[in-house]
Structure 1
Amino acid sequence: MKTPAQQGAGAALQDVATLWIGGELNWLHQLSLASFVHRGHRVTLYYSEMDAAPRVPDGVETRPAAEIWDAKAAGHEGAPASMQSDIFRLHLLRKTDCVWIDADVLCYRPLSPDVYHVGREPSGTVNGAVLKLPRTSPTLNLLLEWFADPEWVPHWLTEQQQAKVAKAPPGKRMLAAFRLARPSVGPRALKHTMRNQGEFKHLKSPDVYYPVRGVFTDAFFNPKGGVDGWLTEKTQGIHLYASMIRPYHERHMPDPDSFIARFARDIDFEIAL
């Protein structure tokens, strides 16, 4: 595999940004951010006020998350990091021109200069690991309005689930919804709202950001291949699904012939465990 050469020379690429909560980035997340820098994107990592700025690859800027959204002031202090991330990215899109990226997405090609960056997974799920909605997007504005109220109960939950959430302590209903149905504040919210607001036409095909399903993450580390056949001329990002990568791979150097090792070499990234 030879990673595509940097494209868009001479053209300004969209800025990208992500949020990091807790400790240092491991080498997979470092690789992700470094890949966007290598392709020519300006990269910003926002970090929680509870933490010091983590070490990041050269070319990555770090800034306090409260510049965009203050979880404590919003009544979500102590909420799981993934829930805070789901809400933070919406405020990022409202306040900046950045494309949101999860810190486990590889930049395979520079992101296209599109107004919308949002795609389907092979299963049909709408994922927000790469996300850009215009400020005028009905989906963006409705989700921001709904999520501003910690008491709000997502109406895309089943009646039984909504009844359980309604019994949560004051100020904890949205948190209860998140814990009851993990995608309720992220992918499920995106899919439900984009469909109802007529924005499904902007969804990109799975091969653009999610060419390899999460259940096949071992393929990234297989020295005999298994990834290249999934990639197409449209592939811009590769979501690694870090939560599904086996701990063994995170703790051991990848085989030199694996996709992940070759990708790192192609962008001049030195893997350090």
Structure 2
Amino acid sequence: MVADRSLPTIGMLWMEGSLSFLEQMCMLSFVECGHRVVLFHYGQVDNVPDGIELVSANEIHEPKQFIVNNQFKTPVPQSDIFRLHLMKKTDFLWCDTDVLALAPIPRADHVFGYFNRDTICNAVMRLPPDSPTLNAYSEYCQDPYPIRPWVEGEEREELERQKRAGELPHASDQEHSVYGPGVMTWFLRHHDELKHASPIPVFFPLPFRRAGQANDIHVREFRDAYIKEETLAVHLWGRRMRWWIANGINRHSFLDRRLRNLGVRPGDAPLPRHGRGGLKPVEFPANLPTMRATTEEIHDATGGVVSVALLSDREDYLKAAQADLDAIAADNLYGAYTPPRVGFSRGWEHYGSDPARLNALGMSLYNYADSHQSLPDLRTPKTFAEKLVVMKLFGEVPDALISDRSKYVGSASELLACPQRTWEAHIPALPETLDLGPGQYWLKGTMSHGHKLALSFPLDRTQRDDANQKLAAWHKTKTPEGFWTGEWWRATQKPLYYIEEDLSAGDRQAGTWKFWVIAGKVQLVQVDRDRGRGRVQMLHDRDYRYVEDELSSPTSSAVELRPERFDDMIQIAEALGQDLECACVELFPVGDRICLSDIMLSPVSGKHKIRSDALDQRLGAAWTGTRLFPG
């Protein structure tokens, strides 16, 4: 959908981590209303829906330290600061990721509204750069030991004394709204800009204490009770709403209706777990070594992509990475100081410096711990997930596979059909003269697996404009997706955009089949299917026996029929994987052809946990007899 340029661009912030269906729904609601949506982030973000642009938050504000509220463990104070920098540097309209759009929000210099009789909420806000409120509010938020602006007299004198003596609590230990709505309201009133405020029903028709009714009552009853003619959006009070909907979305509720209309499935992007049954803190070894690189040196080694604040937050992971690197280097494990074979490359040489290697391994440890709640054993790894972390830094990857997949196909080409590229360029725009033969194609970008758009030639003007807008949005992704997961081979080249034929058009039999090749042999065959409102994965072994274990989604006993050319698919996958430590080769049958979709060197990115521990152990045990794990 092409954005309406007369509408303001929506700016949002997600520090890092996976989006849930709640945030996906809210973001897509603005896209549906015609807004361009830019999601700023400091770390890796997963589950980003199509149509949302990702931009590094460092381009707007790069703090030395994140201010996180210690009571609720939320980055609300940092988010409150970020949106003020956004106001000064862009003409974007700020919206929290829990604001659901119902209608387009017109462009205006001042956009904000009351959430109760007396107070403005900064979940939806726009102030012009020359606003006296914005300037005073920003100056207040630069103080990490703030004193509320309305405090006067002896009380202020006492707080100032405490501040000079180092006794005043840091912003992270004050109220979570230390930089939030109350302060914003005071500055607006003080500078006579409160007159621009919208009434409650425009953005905040749903009261905080009744947030659960978005899921508890029928959509018609909800609309009659809360949605008014002037309502443009609904603030869903995310922290409270997540607690309220933890047990599921009720059928025919307001949330259910919006999720269905926007095509968002809760099972594909679940809510994070909290409280009983939630994630446990990661335990780090005692006596971690001191890092031999400073956070500033690591920041510089990443080209400024990773902020000092983010590195400071992950200091324990970096120290654990330092301990692992020291042990690996001392024993020359994994041939750390043995150059790769001619025609191959490794992450060790790619990163080139100790600070860059430390950051790469630190990110891998963080990603692993985020899903496993423990650190991997990299000195005597046993599971597939542990060995995958090692492979990303020390495993050899053929240069041909990195530079041009079609050249790498080689010996398997006689049995395999590869989609032909019909156009490619580093410039993110389709030539006006581009006119391919009638048919179905894919427009793709190399910066992310999510950068793909189906095209049908001949293109009309609307399709061409949509494609060019996609390309322009993709080009703003300055950090390759693989950077955050340590998949260096996905971050070695400048962005490339291309069109290739869609070999599956009109005759696809059973979707994509994923062959897990480990140590040169297929150990697992995976096929994904959509079932109702969720995804299932069916697993088979090399002889096509059904495997009851679960990979990353629930399994199903509705086993897929064995493809007619299954043996040929096995042969192709093993031929493509013979020079690789491990790979997931994606193939799909079309008529009498077998087509290549992708070759993934890191099937779960070293980030997502294999649901069945026994499967993780078996795949790890099968990973032997290679250059990394010879015995």
The residue aligned with 2:185 is 191
Shift of 1:181: 3.2
Shift of 1:266: 2.4
Whole-Å separation in 1 of the counterparts to 2:31 and 2:141 = 32
Whole-Å separation in 1 of the counterparts to 2:76 and 2:4 = 36
Structure with higher Rg: it is 2
User: Can you list the C-alpha shifts for 1:60-107, whole angstroms capped at 9, x where unaligned?
Assistant: 0111111101121xxx43534100000100000110110000000001
Cα distance change of structure 1 residues 151 and 246 upon mapping to structure 2, 3 Å threshold: closer
Q: Which secondary structure state, in structure 2, belongs to the residue aligned with residue 265 of structure 1?
A: helix
The 10-residue stretch of structure 1 (203-212 or 134-143) with the greater mean CA deviation from structure 2? 134-143
The residue aligned with 1:244 is 240
The 10-residue stretch of structure 1 (98-107 or 16-25) with the greater mean CA deviation from structure 2? 16-25
Shift of 1:113: 1.9
Whole-Å separation in 2 of the counterparts to 1:161 and 1:245 = 37
1:151–1:170 CA contact under 8 A, matched in 2: no
Aligned with residue 258 of structure 2, among 254, 263, 268: 263
2:223 maps to 1:231 = no
1:221–1:259 CA contact under 8 A, matched in 2: yes
2:17–2:46 CA contact under 8 A, matched in 1: yes
Aligned with residue 179 of structure 1, among 173, 179, 189: 173
The 10-residue stretch of structure 1 (151-160 or 240-249) with the greater mean CA deviation from structure 2? 151-160
Aligned with residue 156 of structure 1, among 150, 153, 173: 150
Cα distance change of structure 1 residues 11 and 150 upon mapping to structure 2, 3 Å threshold: closer
Aligned with residue 98 of structure 1, among 89, 92, 95: 92
2:47 maps to 1:55 = yes
2:131 maps to 1:137 = yes
Whole-Å separation in 2 of the counterparts to 1:108 and 1:166 = 49
Shift of 1:128: 0.5
Q: Which secondary structure state, in structure 2, belongs to the residue aligned with residue 131 of structure 1?
A: strand
Whole-Å separation in 1 of the counterparts to 2:166 and 2:134 = 22
User: Can you list the C-alpha shifts for 1:155-209, whole angstroms capped at 9, x where unaligned?
Assistant: 2247658745753588996x73563333231101111000010011100000000
Shift of 1:237: 0.9
Q: How many residues align?
A: 259
Whole-Å separation in 2 of the counterparts to 1:46 and 1:206 = 27
The residue aligned with 1:85 is 79
Where structure 2 has 5 or more consecutive residues not aligned to the other structure, the ranges are: 70-74, 271-631
The 10-residue stretch of structure 1 (99-108 or 141-150) with the greater mean CA deviation from structure 2? 141-150
Whole-Å separation in 2 of the counterparts to 1:103 and 1:219 = 19
Where structure 1 has 5 or more consecutive residues not aligned to the other structure, the ranges are: 1-5
1:89–1:100 CA contact under 8 A, matched in 2: yes
Q: What is the aligned-residue RMSD (CA, Å)?
A: 2.6
Whole-Å separation in 2 of the counterparts to 1:172 and 1:24 = 37
1:211–1:238 CA contact under 8 A, matched in 2: yes
Cα distance change of structure 1 residues 136 and 224 upon mapping to structure 2, 3 Å threshold: same
Q: Which secondary structure state, in structure 2, belongs to the residue aligned with residue 183 of structure 1?
A: coil
Q: Which secondary structure state, in structure 1, belongs to the residue aligned with residue 31 of structure 2?
A: helix
The residue aligned with 1:3 is none
Whole-Å separation in 2 of the counterparts to 1:193 and 1:205 = 18
Whole-Å separation in 1 of the counterparts to 2:156 and 2:51 = 44
1:87–1:147 CA contact under 8 A, matched in 2: yes
Cα distance change of structure 1 residues 217 and 239 upon mapping to structure 2, 3 Å threshold: same
Whole-Å separation in 2 of the counterparts to 1:58 and 1:171 = 48
Whole-Å separation in 1 of the counterparts to 2:257 and 2:58 = 37
Aligned amino acid, residue 135 of structure 2? N
Shift of 1:17: 0.8
Q: More relative contact order in 1 or in 2 (CA 8 Å, sep 6+)?
A: 1
Aligned amino acid, residue 107 of structure 1? A
Shift of 1:55: 2.7
Whole-Å separation in 2 of the counterparts to 1:212 and 1:248 = 14
Q: Percent identity?
A: 30
Whole-Å separation in 2 of the counterparts to 1:78 and 1:37 = 30
2:116 maps to 1:122 = yes
1:120–1:203 CA contact under 8 A, matched in 2: yes
Cα distance change of structure 1 residues 153 and 13 upon mapping to structure 2, 3 Å threshold: same
The residue aligned with 2:56 is 64
Runs of 4+ in 1 over 6 A off after TM superposition: 169-172
Aligned amino acid, residue 239 of structure 1? H
Q: Which secondary structure state, in structure 1, belongs to the residue aligned with residue 54 of structure 2?
A: strand
Aligned amino acid, residue 261 of structure 1? D
User: Can you list the C-alpha shifts for 1:102-131, whole angstroms capped at 9, x where unaligned?
Assistant: 000001111122221100013432100000
Cα distance change of structure 1 residues 163 and 177 upon mapping to structure 2, 3 Å threshold: farther
Q: Which secondary structure state, in structure 2, belongs to the residue aligned with residue 97 of structure 1?
A: coil
User: Can you list the C-alpha shifts for 1:38-68, whole angstroms capped at 9, x where unaligned?
Assistant: 11111111112xx213331111011111110
Shift of 1:152: 4.5
Whole-Å separation in 1 of the counterparts to 2:61 and 2:172 = 19
Whole-Å separation in 1 of the counterparts to 2:160 and 2:245 = 37
The residue aligned with 1:29 is 23
1:93–1:133 CA contact under 8 A, matched in 2: yes
